Amino acid sequence: MKRFERLEQIRRMDPYRDASEIYRLASAYEFPWDFTRALELALYRTYAVPSIGRLLAETGELTDRTQKRYDDTVLLLDAVVEHGFGSEQGRTAIRRVNRMHRSYDIGNDDMRYVLCTFVVMPKRWIDAYGWRRMSRHETIACAVHYRTLGRHMGIRDIPESYEEFEACLDAYEEAHLGWDEGARRVSDATLGLMTSWYPRPLAPLLRTATLALLDDHLLRAFRYAPPSPATRAIVRRAVRLRGRAVRLLPPRSAPHHARQNWEVKGYPNGYRLEDLGTRPVPGVRGCPVRHVDLSAHD
């Protein structure tokens, strides 16, 4: 397969009827690394809305169990992508997500905003740093996929198009992003998690590099000192150069799903989808586990 052959395949598909398959091709074949980074930053971005960041701080899910919360979120969302909404795995993942959210008092507006970040941030990241820009088919399919997910989650007043998702996100952030002490604790814990994936001596450098990828609005909300213009330029150029390098490589012949990401560390012996999102039992490493083969579509 040639470098742009899969894009040609996507353009022959219907972005509405085949939305989830197009999204799977884009996220698992064309841009797996970029989707991972973009969705990490999408979720991180939501902490700057005080009602969201404060709730996460109060639950301790992202301050005391940061790696587990990261793993569970990634694995549940990607099970739907890998297997589809109608599959047993997809239905189980959505039930688990809904059960987790029912435990807390989360407003519809906040839920809709989080959904908007899943649609908007991957396109913005890929257009800035990917080996090519997202096509119109992929952009539409991403919006349709998450509209479907939002309906399964019972979210009301979901935007209809990518442009509406983007407008909703920007308006919500303009109105709601701001300082909260609990949200800052969640942010610090998340930055600590991201740097923990690499050798300890690199932690200060990686923290600065991560902050260099954030916009001023977000930095002000968390009250982080902005990196210098030179640091920002170097970091962003390095990420762009990575995208250019990927363009020179052969395209993927096999999908890469989130469960294969090395950053997912909480279930070395495997996991069951129905167990994800549960609080760990004191003295027990991880959840009650039996290995589950989720590679049926590889």
Instruction: Tell me how far apart the alpha carbons of residues 157 and 246 are, in angstroms, rounded to a whole number.
Output: 38
Instruction: Tell me how far apart the alpha carbons of residues 167 and 173 are, in angstroms, rounded to a whole number.
Output: 10
CB environment 1-33: b (16+ within 10 A), e (fewer): eeeeebbeebeeeebeebbbebbbbbbbbbbbe
Residue 293 lies in a domain: no
- Model pLDDT, residue 8: 97
Residue 297 lies in a domain: no
Q: What is the mean pLDDT of residues 152-171?
A: 97
Using the predicted structure, report yes or no on whether residue 103 has a pLDDT greater than 80: no
CA dihedral 111, 40, 135, 30 (to 10 degrees): -130
Domain that holds residue 257: 5-187+200-275
Give yes or no for a contact between 135 and 47, defined as CB atoms under 8 angstroms apart: no
Of 99-108, 158-167, 243-252, least confident by mean pLDDT is 99-108
**pTM of the prediction?**
0.90
- The pLDDT tens digits for 180-222 are 999 999 999 999 999 999 999 999 999 999 999 999 999 999 9
Residue 125 lies in a domain: yes
- Model pLDDT, residue 279: 64
Residue 69 lies in a domain: yes
Residue 215 lies in a domain: yes
**Residue 280: band (very low, low, confident or very high) from pLDDT cuts 50, 70, 90:** low
How many structural domains does the chain have? 1
Using the predicted structure, report yes or no on whether residue 39 has a pLDDT greater than 80: yes
Residue 226 lies in a domain: yes
